[in-house]
Amino acid sequence: MALSHGSESPATISEAPTTPTLDTEAPHSATEALATNTEAPAINTAAPLTDTEASATDAGARQTRFSRMIDPKLQELLNKPRSELTEYEIAQVEQHEFAVGPLSLLYTAVRSHTQVLISMRNNRKLLARVKAFDRHCNMILENVKEMWTETPRLSNGKKGRPVNKDRFISKMFLRGDSVILVLLS
């Protein structure tokens, strides 16, 4: 998984107005300045954060919270460039990323043998058990129920009533680039 942990500079945000920040530098935004101020807040005349700024701030806060929970040795590995890691260290980093990153949902599904609902690019849905997966979301699936809707054409050329269809597939390899969404059932 090509997640870069060393290049981002996480912003630290206080959870409550009375909690001091961990950063010693000046706040990055008006929202942070208000959050770190322990006195009565002044009237905020700054423009509100854009969606991009707000999501970057949220992501930085999440990464900071995760950084505090990670073993220092693992944190050191996450900050190193992949080219400097040994095979064993890369395996440790990937194990951690599978356990806490976005692919943790698939990791959980494999370990607990629960079904997942997969929405695909061709507007079909798969309800299946994940046997294995990789960082590209390629998956080996078992007991797959593929579901889709067809709209037949009538003899006069107009669209008919939509019909739900499905089929059963015992084992399947699903290429990851066709996956849009994975839900744990």
Tens of pLDDT along 87-100? 988 888 888 888 88
* Cα torsion angle, 42, 43, 46, 51, sign: positive
pTM: 0.57
The pLDDT value recorded for residue 68 is 52
List, in order, residues 6 or more apart from 70 with CB less than 8 Å away. 78, 96
Q: Tokens at residue 141, please?
A: 């699936």
Q: Which domains does the chain have, with CATH numbers?
A: 105-184 (2.30.30.100)
Residues of the chain with pLDDT under 50: 1-47, 55-57, 59-65, 67
The pLDDT value recorded for residue 146 is 97
Rounded to whole angstroms, the Cα distance separating 83 from 139 reads: 27
